[in-house]
Structure 1
């Protein structure tokens, strides 16, 4: 196993963040991100998103992130495909990405196998639209989550992905000594989500997740501070939510959250979530942002239009399912008619088979007649030959009689 301890200690001292385990995970995740983004094909077809993107590409290290999130950019690839064709293409793309992750993880000393059939390393969700790659370092789990199918509403942005060291001075001799680690733990360009896209997906996560995470609310708080309010993107949020409502677990969670979305800071402030915070937000400001402008009253008020749109979608889905059921009933009738035709066809084939058997017997009789006929012709031929002999004898007798008459 590759030893990161010395470099992690260096990063801890330089950044002043006394959280070595989280710093080590950040080093691993960032280096993995660098290795993936170094691949030309990956770089142009996957979008960096989520909390890691907010931290590394937009707001800096206000909190630590524990995974990497991406979305597949070329959504037109799935258009016009049947369900089975699309699933086959999704799995194929997941396999290609797994192979790239395997190569990158090998260089980082992480345990991972590009085996999409092994749920220890690769797990599919939402009808193969979501893929989670699980990498291991000892007992530590690192996740890479990829949405292969997604509704993209805003243009991607080219952003710099930064590290804990981007704003600190690193001496020349330190760069030389830690060259092997700094090669991947450095600033580089990635294709990333627009902040508005992240906002919409963060709200979707809160509304469709069964258990709320404090980190998501912190991210919303930071987005609010950056001037992005939920009320300005209700339509876009609704479009994002519509995509996942076809899956039962999201529908059930969204219904539960609609009845009573629990945004209590106290209920979500577990030790793990709090340990991710680098900058502790001002408590009053945080509460005001989440419980006021983003809290129960205004948040749910702002989202009421979204829920109404969702209900419209559900009613539309219900009508669609009724139409589908009607088509299925019609299909059953058609299949019954086809079965009746097949039975009739089977009878016809039985009759044809009987006629063929009868025809075969007739041909056998004809062959027998031909054989009898041949025998008759043989007998006629023999009779003709005997007749010829008799005529020869008659001729000889006549000649003999003529001679006798002449003598008389």
Structure 2
């Protein structure tokens, strides 16, 4: 892997080799997951990695793979016991798939729901985090790739089909086949179902208000999405509040939103993820957007 990362770092003029290493693994995992037809049909890609791969290009690195279960209608109008049973079966199917994928890629993962090193389940099987571990040859430490799946989610926009772009697609195929044939899959884009950019924007706003630790990348993502999509936030306030209130059913999100007023944006903390300089206008956007967040926060407090 180190030789591949050194080669790609020189080819793409990217200095952050440890993030390149993680991105290679992220792309390979995504590629293999979407080669499984049932997973491709049942789960929509979303989150930061979706933004850079499906919409805005690689302005920053992303560290996770996030998905939402699409076929939620089958979980409506049945008992909570039956919901837990169905979701337990789905989680087992994903565990089996991840066991196969990680075995192929040489990652450390165990199909064990009781082992929180690898699997964390919340909300009566409604939210699951999987951790795929690897030894970073660049940092000489253990690292992990996080995969998060929401089985219950308020989806306000249409799920669409896109190609998730590879950072390495412009590397000549002949060159890769000659030098690193075992990694040829990193050149390929990945066909999948995903959230619209508008839906991702709404989720980012919700994350800012409910995430326990503030991440400056969320503000940067919103800034760049707004620049591309020109979404009128006031006109979409009801949808955004509905998404937030949907998550406020769960205790940890109620605790998180109560901490919102004490949060501060510190861009420097995540500069290591950035591949392009931040465009002008971010600070003025931040002032205006913070006022909008305060409006949302106050309305949610009143309604709850």
Equivalent residue for 1:142, pick from 136, 140, 145: 145
The C-alpha deviation readout for 1:64-119, integer Å capped at 9, x for no partner, is 01110000100012112212221122121111101101101111100101111221
Give the corresponding residue for 1:225: 227
Q: Out of 229-238 and 118-127, give the one that drifted further.
A: 229-238
Deviation at residue 309 of structure 1 after TM alignment: 5.3
Equivalent residue for 1:10, pick from 7, 10, 14: 7
Rounded to whole Å, the distance in 1 between the matches of 2:82 and 2:259 is 34
Give the corresponding residue for 2:115: 118
Deviation at residue 15 of structure 1 after TM alignment: 1.4
Equivalent residue for 1:130, pick from 116, 121, 127: 127
Do the aligned partners of residues 229 and 24 (structure 1) sit closer, same or farther apart at CA in structure 2, a change above 3 Å counting?
A: farther
Give the corresponding residue for 1:162: 165
Rounded to whole Å, the distance in 1 between the matches of 2:4 and 2:23 is 12
Give the corresponding residue for 2:49: 52
SS in 1 for 2:77: coil
Q: Out of 104-113 and 86-95, give the one that drifted further.
A: 86-95
Give the corresponding residue for 1:406: none
Give the corresponding residue for 2:302: 311
- Contact 1:156/1:194 (CA < 8 Å) preserved in 2? yes
Structure 1 segment 188-227 matched on structure 2, within 5 A:
188-226=190-228, 227=230
Give the corresponding residue for 2:138: none
Rounded to whole Å, the distance in 2 between the matches of 1:27 and 1:228 is 32
Equivalent residue for 1:289, pick from 285, 291, 296: 285
Bigger strand fraction: 2
Deviation at residue 230 of structure 1 after TM alignment: 2.8
Is 1:241 matched with 2:238?
Answer: no
Do the aligned partners of residues 6 and 29 (structure 1) sit closer, same or farther apart at CA in structure 2, a change above 3 Å counting?
A: same
Do the aligned partners of residues 194 and 31 (structure 1) sit closer, same or farther apart at CA in structure 2, a change above 3 Å counting?
A: same
The C-alpha deviation readout for 1:165-222, integer Å capped at 9, x for no partner, is 23x3426233343232122442121111101110111111111122210111111111
Deviation at residue 229 of structure 1 after TM alignment: 4.3
SS in 2 for 1:64: coil
SS in 1 for 2:59: coil
Bigger helix fraction: 1
Rounded to whole Å, the distance in 2 between the matches of 1:215 and 1:182 is 30
Moved over 6 A (4+): none
Equivalent residue for 1:91, pick from 85, 88, 91: 88
TM-score by length of 2: 0.92
Of structures 1 and 2, the one scoring higher in RCO (CA 8 A, sep 6+) is: 2
SS in 1 for 2:258: helix
Rounded to whole Å, the distance in 2 between the matches of 1:196 and 1:261 is 27
SS in 2 for 1:204: helix
Deviation at residue 256 of structure 1 after TM alignment: 2.8
- Contact 2:171/2:187 (CA < 8 Å) preserved in 1? no
SS in 2 for 1:61: coil
Equivalent residue for 1:26, pick from 23, 28, 32: 23
Return 5+ residue gaps in structure 2 as ranges. Answer: 136-141
Deviation at residue 5 of structure 1 after TM alignment: 1.6
Do the aligned partners of residues 86 and 6 (structure 1) sit closer, same or farther apart at CA in structure 2, a change above 3 Å counting?
A: same
Do the aligned partners of residues 173 and 251 (structure 1) sit closer, same or farther apart at CA in structure 2, a change above 3 Å counting?
A: closer
Return 5+ residue gaps in structure 1 as ranges. Answer: 315-408
Deviation at residue 310 of structure 1 after TM alignment: 5.8
Is 1:300 matched with 2:294?
Answer: yes
Deviation at residue 48 of structure 1 after TM alignment: 0.5
SS in 2 for 1:180: helix
- Contact 2:162/2:192 (CA < 8 Å) preserved in 1? yes
